[in-house]
């Protein structure tokens, strides 16, 4: 294993130090317990938007802390959910009197830890609502599993819900919006290579030189099936079919898409993939109204990509266009 | 009779046991989960052994409660809240006690496992740590009813827990991250059931 770090056990904290040094105008970092909060928190009278999860998915979530997106983010150890004490402290630092919404990706550990934190905060008098994000179509949703995983839709939902909170919407309205967005979003990913958890020291799984894992999760969890690599065009078609037929999306729908790199895929390939996605969407009569192309929810140095589509009306597009100023997403003023 | 000293010896043993099984637990987790279970357990129990030896609480309930809070803070993942809940519920059965006997021990484990069941909502057969815990606490109750002492109760627990753990190999996961694999999770031993049996073995080696 070769990684740019000092001691594997210090990676998360040392990265947070760098982040604070680079973006001190936007965010503050607490180290014990670890959380990132927007520099102007708490914002009086506005709902706080809080997310968190294991580290190793950067820029998610710390890169999205700032005006117009997240109020706070709680980073866990690599691929490990944050703990209730972190979330509780971050909630206290963030709450401006209008309550806090937790945006939680659907993984057993994340759900249990956020649940414990919400109990602590509610009993301390801070209103908290939780919305679970579960957009990954690669995983069967049934009573026999922990349900679908939360992946790329998280980025889009954090942006739009953050805009709603910034506009001054109340906790109930923001929560309803977040639930609607989750219902309207679908994603799927593919891996060309594994990633290596620094403290584990070796790749999480092995893929043959010409093999890919379709339906990969953001922690290297296996997905639907393993296949021999195909041309990008065919991969995008396969994943589009899985995503667009799942909601399903209909001819004429407006969508926001995220064409996301898993951390180890160059932009030249991501743009090629986006071009293919545009073509597929056009043949299906879907209108891509907004898009993000780049590394937004990653899996350490994994090679691969994911696609997310979110059905959007004018209200959602308006919130999307609202100003945002974070380390990794900024537009408007 | 189990006193605070034995409980503290159990905590220290858990630290050592998870350290020496860190790689194997993480490997089991890499096969069907996210490759962090051994790492998380070590982070939690190392912190617990250190903090509790620096300032040992005055009674068994207080030790177990402090342990619970440290695990919830340090472990993360699903196992943090689950093991944290185990020790929190267990601590409530022996508040203020500086020694406990055989039946107290059975009650302590039963309460802890009830906490895991409630928090994680898994049932036997779902391929989780519950597959080791449920048969283990049943065996403890049976051994106690049959007149067993602390040593016999804990040996029965280990033996039943091991059978439950081994049975997870052929199961398809229905809870936790391994459930995303469905049928592909068959053939792999559950890491949570494995760490649960290690906890029982450490109890057998230190409490009896």
Does the distance separating the beta carbons of A200 and B36 come in below 8 Å? yes
CATH of the domain at A52: 3.40.50.10440
Residue pairs spanning A and B at CB distance below 8 A:
108
Q: What share of chain A in percent tops pLDDT 70? A: 98
Per-residue pLDDT, averaged over A328-332, amounts to 98
- For the stretch A139-192, pLDDT in tens is 776 556 678 999 999 999 999 999 999 999 999 999 999 999 999 999 999 999
Does the distance separating the beta carbons of A197 and B35 come in below 8 Å? yes
Highest mean pLDDT among A138-152, B121-135, B177-191: B121-135
Strand partners, A196: A203
Q: Is residue A65 included in any domain, yes or no?
A: yes
DSSP A149: P
Quote the CA–CA distance of B106 and B119 in Å, as a whole number.
20
Q: What is the pLDDT of residue A146?
A: 78
A137 and A258 in a common domain: no
Per-residue pLDDT, averaged over A98-117, amounts to 94
Q: What is the pLDDT of residue A204?
A: 86
Q: What is the pLDDT of residue B35?
A: 85
Task: Please give, rounded to a whole number of angstroms, the shortest distance from the CA of A86 to a CA of chain B.
Answer: 8
The kind and range of the H/E element at A324 are: strand A324-325
Q: What is the pLDDT of residue A162?
A: 98
User: For an interface test with B, which of A80, A106, A187, A220 has the most B Cβ atoms less than 10 Å from its Cβ?
Assistant: A80
A206 and A125 in a common domain: no
CB atoms within 10 A of CB A53: 29
DSSP A84: H
Strand partners, A291: A257
B43 and B1 Cβ atoms separated by less than 8 Å: no
Quote the CA–CA distance of B148 and B141 in Å, as a whole number.
9
Contacts of A76 in chain B (CB under 8 A): 76-77
Whether B180 shows a pLDDT value over 80: the answer reads: no
Among A157-171, A190-204, B104-118, where is mean pLDDT lowest? A190-204
Overall domain count for chain A: 2
The per-residue b/e assignment along A195-230, b for 16 or more CB within 10 angstroms, e otherwise, is: bbbbbbeebbbebeeeebbbbbbbbbbbbbebeeee
**In chain A, which residue's Cα lies nearest the Cα of B40?**
A80
A68 and A156 in a common domain: yes
A80 and A110 in a common domain: yes
Phi, psi at A96, each rounded to 5°: -105, 20
Task: Please give, rounded to a whole number of angstroms, the shortest distance from the CA of A44 to a CA of chain B.
Answer: 29
DSSP string computed for B58-96: SSHHHHHHHHHHHHHHHT-TTHHHHHHHHHHHHHHTTTT
Q: What is the pLDDT of residue A143?
A: 55
First to last CA, chain A: 43
Does the distance separating the beta carbons of A109 and B81 come in below 8 Å? yes
Contacts of B40 in chain A (CB under 8 A): 77, 80
Does the distance separating the beta carbons of A80 and B36 come in below 8 Å? yes
Whether A2 shows a pLDDT value over 90: the answer reads: yes
Task: Please give, rounded to a whole number of angstroms, the shortest distance from the CA of B120 to a CA of chain A.
Answer: 8
Per-residue pLDDT, averaged over B72-95, amounts to 93
- For the stretch A295-313, pLDDT in tens is 999 999 999 999 999 999 9
Quote the CA–CA distance of B100 and B133 in Å, as a whole number.
21
The Cβ-side half-sphere exposure at A296, using a 13 Å CA radius, reads: 26
User: For an interface test with A, which of B68, B72, B120, B180 has the most A Cβ atoms less than 10 Å from its Cβ?
Assistant: B180
Per-residue pLDDT, averaged over A114-124, amounts to 89
The angle subtended at Cα A263 by Cα A260 and Cα A268, nearest 5°, is 65
- For the stretch A24-57, pLDDT in tens is 999 999 999 999 999 999 999 999 999 999 999 9
User: What does pLDDT average to over chain A?
Assistant: 95
A127, A162, A183: which is the final residue of a domain?
A: A183
User: For an interface test with A, which of B31, B73, B80, B117 has the most A Cβ atoms less than 10 Å from its Cβ?
Assistant: B80
Highest mean pLDDT among A67-81, A204-218, B68-82: A67-81
Quote the CA–CA distance of A291 and A305 in Å, as a whole number.
15
Q: Is residue A6 included in any domain, yes or no?
A: no
Q: What is the pLDDT of residue A84?
A: 92
Quote the CA–CA distance of A112 and A207 in Å, as a whole number.
31
Task: Report residue A63 as tokens.
Answer: 């890169």
The kind and range of the H/E element at A148 are: none
DSSP A65: B
Q: Is residue A320 included in any domain, yes or no?
A: no
Whether B177 shows a pLDDT value over 90: the answer reads: no
Helices marked H in chain A = 11-23, 84-94, 108-123, 153-167, 171-183, 232-244, 267-283, 314-321
Per-residue pLDDT, averaged over A112-128, amounts to 91
A256 and A159 in a common domain: no
Given A85, A145, A197, which is nearest B73 (Cβ)? A85
Given A140, A220, A223, which is nearest B35 (Cβ)? A220
Whether A58 shows a pLDDT value over 80: the answer reads: yes
A164, A183, A202: which is the final residue of a domain?
A: A183
Given A77, A139, A146, which is nearest B76 (Cβ)? A77
Count of residues in chain B: 208
Quote the CA–CA distance of A137 and A292 in Å, as a whole number.
20
Rounded-to-5 percentages of helix, strand, coil across chain B: 75, 0, 25
Q: What is the pLDDT of residue A142?
A: 55
Q: Is residue A81 included in any domain, yes or no?
A: yes
Task: Please give, rounded to a whole number of angstroms, the shortest distance from the CA of B140 to a CA of chain A.
Answer: 28
Given B34, B73, B175, which is nearest A219 (Cβ)? B34
User: What does pLDDT average to over chain B?
Assistant: 95
Residues of A taking part in catalysis: 57, 219
Whether A222 shows a pLDDT value over 80: the answer reads: no
Is A220 or B37 the better-scoring residue by pLDDT? B37
A207 and A99 in a common domain: no
Where in chain B are the domains? 2-207
Task: Report residue B197 as tokens.
Answer: 């049996």
B200 alpha carbon, distance to own chain's centre: 6
User: For an interface test with A, which of B21, B48, B72, B77 has the most A Cβ atoms less than 10 Å from its Cβ?
Assistant: B77
**Smallest Cα–Cα separation from A184: which of A49, A273, A308, A315?**
A308
A281 and A143 in a common domain: no
Given B30, B82, B120, which is nearest A204 (Cβ)? B30
A143 and A61 in a common domain: yes
Strand partners, A311: A255
Q: What share of chain B in percent tops pLDDT 70? A: 100
Q: Is residue A136 included in any domain, yes or no?
A: yes
A197 and A176 in a common domain: no
Whether A15 shows a pLDDT value over 90: the answer reads: yes
Strands A254-261 and A304-311: antiparallel
Q: Is cis: bond before A59, omega within 30 of 0?
A: yes
- For the stretch B32-79, pLDDT in tens is 888 889 999 999 999 999 999 999 999 999 999 999 999 998 998 889
A229 and A154 in a common domain: no
A184 and A248 Cβ atoms separated by less than 8 Å: no
> In which domain, by residue range, is A297 found?
185-311
A136, A152, A183: which is the final residue of a domain?
A: A183
The CATH classification number of B2-207 equals 1.25.40.340
Q: What is the pLDDT of residue B181?
A: 80
Which pLDDT band holds residue B184 (cuts at 50, 70, 90)?
confident
A266 and A217 in a common domain: yes
Contacts of A199 in chain B (CB under 8 A): 36, 39
Whether A60 shows a pLDDT value over 70: the answer reads: yes
Does the distance separating the beta carbons of B76 and A83 come in below 8 Å? yes
């Amino acid at each position: 294993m070769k990684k740019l770090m000092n001691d594997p056990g210090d990676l998360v904290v040392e990265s947070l130090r760098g982040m604070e040094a680079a973006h001190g105008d936007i965010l503050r970092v607490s180290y014990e317990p670890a959380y990132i909060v927007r520099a102007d928190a708490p914002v009086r009278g506005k709902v706080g938007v809080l997310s968190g999860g294991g580290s190793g998915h950067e820029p998610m979530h710390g890169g999205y802390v700032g005006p117009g997106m997240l109020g706070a983010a709680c980073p866990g150890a690599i691929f490990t959910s944050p703990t209730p004490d972190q979330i509780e402290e971050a909630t206290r630092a963030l709450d401006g009197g209008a309550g806090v919404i937790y945006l939680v990706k659907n993984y057993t550990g994340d759900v249990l830890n956020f649940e414990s934190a919400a109990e602590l905060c509610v009993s301390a008098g801070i209103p908290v609502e939780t919305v679970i994000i579960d957009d990954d179509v690669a995983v069967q949703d049934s009573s026999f599993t922990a349900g679908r995983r939360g992946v790329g839709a998280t980025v889009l939902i954090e942006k739009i819900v953050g805009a709603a909170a910034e506009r001054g919407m109340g906790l109930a309205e923001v929560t309803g919006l977040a639930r609607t967005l989750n219902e309207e979003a679908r994603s799927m990913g593919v891996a060309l290579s594994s990633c290596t958890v620094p403290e584990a020291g070796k790749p999480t799984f092995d893929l043959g030189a010409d093999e890919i894992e379709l339906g990969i999760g953001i922690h290297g969890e296996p997905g639907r099936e393993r296949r021999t690599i195909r041309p990008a065009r065919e991969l995008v078609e396969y994943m589009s079919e899985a995503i667009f037929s799942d909601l399903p999306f209909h001819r004429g729908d407006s969508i926001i898409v995220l064409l996301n790199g898993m951390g180890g895929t160059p932009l030249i390939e991501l743009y090629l993939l986006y071009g293919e996605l545009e073509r597929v969407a056009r043949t299906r009569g879907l209108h891509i109204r907004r898009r993000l192309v780049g590394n937004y929810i990653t899996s350490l140095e994994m090679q691969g990509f994911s696609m997310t589509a979110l059905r959007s009306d004018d209200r959602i597009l308006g919130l999307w266009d609202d100003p945002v100023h974070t380390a990794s997403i900024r537009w408007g003023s | 009779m189990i006193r605070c000293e034995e409980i503290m010896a159990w905590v220290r043993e858990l630290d050592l046991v998870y350290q020496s099984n860190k790689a194997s637990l993480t490997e089991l987790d890499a096969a069907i989960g996210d490759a962090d279970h051994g790492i998380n357990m070590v982070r939690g129990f190392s912190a617990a052994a250190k903090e509790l030896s620096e300032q040992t609480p005055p009674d068994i309930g207080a030790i177990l409660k402090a342990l619970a809070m440290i695990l919830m803070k340090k472990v993360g993942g699903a196992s943090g809240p689950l093991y944290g809940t185990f020790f929190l519920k267990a601590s409530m059965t022996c508040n203020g006690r500086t020694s406990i006997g055989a039946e107290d021990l059975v009650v302590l484990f039963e309460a802890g496992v009830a906490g895991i069941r409630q928090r994680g909502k898994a049932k036997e057969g779902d391929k989780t740590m519950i597959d080791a815990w449920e048969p283990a606490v049943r065996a403890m109750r049976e051994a106690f009813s049959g007149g067993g002492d602390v040593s016999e109760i804990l040996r029965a627990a280990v033996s039943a827990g091991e059978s439950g753990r081994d049975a997870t190999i052929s199961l398809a996961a229905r809870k936790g991250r391994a459930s995303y694999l469905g049928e592909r999770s068959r053939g792999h031993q559950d890491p949570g059931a494995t760490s649960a049996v290690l906890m029982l073995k450490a109890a057998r080696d230190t409490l009896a």
